[in-house]
């Protein structure tokens, strides 16, 4: 009887909104105050602690069990990057890095994202012109997204050698277009570390601050067998290269006769982003049609879903990263819901599947073709 009355009394009530518990780790008292004040404006977020060093943070993490941690990269003693690596090894948790938007800060931040951080927020310059409201909106939005992230140990590169992956004559490769956002730094690193050095050409849109993109491309170039570079306007697209969209321009693909070229569009953001995955995918659909392969990886929001659907309608083969391997299933989930994804795969399965699709319809039996030739760069 009591149970029935309790159910009736609760009928029609909305479930209590989940409160996101945040621990702030920053050696600057000013930044701790700014972060706490910004997060206090959100009713669904509670700052449960503010600490100045890694040693204290370690004890507070054990005691308070935060849902999200904000972590300064530059701290005395054990720096933020080293502390992050310990967190992800001993107690994986959603971590947002607070970083200066400098070249050195960009390099450290990319290492942090590869090590398992969910996202990064640029440390604002304290001045009369600082837009504190914009900073507050950004940190609140990223904390909410981080609280939903599927944090998992960062996977090692595939042990499968690149020369055993399918690859045909490079003159007939299809173009591969990749898009990612939150979690994409680590995902793209893992995917491209299995890419053969003379493999299909790749264009990439990864959401990130403009002054991070060149550092990101250079880091990928040093960690993979394939040549990775920032795309330049009018640059011809060739096998063996990965072209990364600059962080302040849309990367599009255009055709001139038999050849494909990169074109940069400095127009306004689309879906809140410049570069936008939708803009890139739509251009690939128009310029390349069924001679393309598209994949949308982990990321927040829905950018790229409509463009990937346009690629599918144009005859391209399309892929989406599955929920289990995505840090944030927003972008691939949105693409799947509208029918843009033909094949949904775990990230570890992506390299071989993308290469297979980029080789579809090619006669791999002709002389000089095949994996061994591609690996040697002789195809």
List the catalytic residues.
181, 207, 303
Which residues, in sequence order, are bridge partners of residue 211? none
Distance, in Å, from the CA atom of 113 to the CA atom of 118, rounded to the nearest integer, reads 7
Tokens representing 124 are 């604002």
Distance, in Å, from the CA atom of 337 to the CA atom of 327, rounded to the nearest integer, reads 18
Q: How many residues does the chain have?
A: 379
Strand 95-99, strand 241-244: pairing: unpaired
Report the helix count and the strand count for the chain, using DSSP H and E.
13, 14
Question: Which SS3 state, helix, strand or coil, does residue 363 take?
Answer: coil
Q: Which residue has the tokens 């993308």?
A: 354
Q: 213: Cβ–Cβ under 8 A, 6 or more apart, which residues?
A: 206, 230, 244, 245, 246, 247
C-alpha count within 13 angstroms, C-beta hemisphere, residue 122:
18
Burial class (CB in 10 A: 0-12, 13-18, 19+), 18: exposed
Burial class (CB in 10 A: 0-12, 13-18, 19+), 3: exposed
Distance, in Å, from the CA atom of 335 to the CA atom of 198, rounded to the nearest integer, reads 30
50 membership: H or E segment, kind and range: strand 45-51
From the list 26, 190, 40, the residue with the least C-alpha distance to 96 is 26
């Amino acid at each position: 009887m009591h149970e029935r009355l309790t159910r009736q009394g609760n009928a029609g009530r909305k479930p209590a909104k989940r409160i996101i518990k945040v621990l702030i780790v920053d050696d600057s008292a000013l930044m701790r105050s700014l972060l706490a004040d910004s997060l206090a404006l959100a009713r669904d977020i509670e700052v449960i602690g503010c600490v100045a060093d890694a040693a204290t943070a370690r004890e507070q993490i054990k005691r308070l069990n935060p849902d999200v941690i904000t972590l300064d990269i530059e701290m005395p003693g054990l720096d933020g990057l080293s502390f992050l690596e310990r967190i992800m090894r001993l107690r994986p948790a959603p971590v947002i890095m607070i970083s200066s938007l400098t070249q050195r800060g960009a390099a450290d931040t990319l290492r942090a994202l590869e090590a398992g951080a969910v996202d990064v927020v640029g440390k604002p310059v304290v001045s009369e012109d600082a837009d504190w409201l914009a900073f507050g909106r950004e940190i609140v939005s990223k904390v909410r997204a981080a609280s939903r992230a599927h944090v998992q140990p960062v996977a090692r590169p595939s042990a499968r050698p690149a020369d055993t992956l399918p690859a045909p004559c490079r003159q007939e490769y299809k173009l591969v277009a990749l898009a990612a956002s939150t979690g994409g730094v680590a995902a793209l690193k893992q995917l491209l570390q299995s890419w053969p050095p003379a493999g299909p050409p790749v264009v990439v849109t990864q959401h990130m601050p403009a002054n991070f993109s060149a550092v990101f491309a250079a880091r990928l170039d040093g960690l993979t067998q394939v040549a990775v570079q920032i795309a330049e306007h009018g640059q011809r697209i060739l096998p063996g290269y990965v072209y990364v969209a600059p962080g302040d321009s849309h990367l599009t693909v255009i055709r001139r006769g038999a050849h494909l070229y990169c074109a940069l569009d400095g127009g306004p953001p689309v879906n809140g982003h410049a570069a936008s995955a939708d803009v890139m995918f739509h251009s690939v659909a128009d310029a390349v049609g069924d001679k393309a392969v598209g994949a949308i990886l982990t990321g927040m929001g829905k950018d790229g879903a409509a463009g990937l659907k346009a690629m599918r309608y144009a005859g391209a083969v399309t892929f989406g990263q599955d929920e289990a391997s995505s840090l944030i299933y927003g972008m691939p989930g949105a693409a799947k819901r509208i029918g843009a994804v033909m094949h949904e795969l775990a990230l570890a399965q992506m390299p071989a599947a993308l290469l297979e699709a980029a080789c579809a319809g090619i006669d791999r039996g002709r002389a000089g073709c095949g994996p061994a030739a591609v690996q040697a760069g002789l195809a």
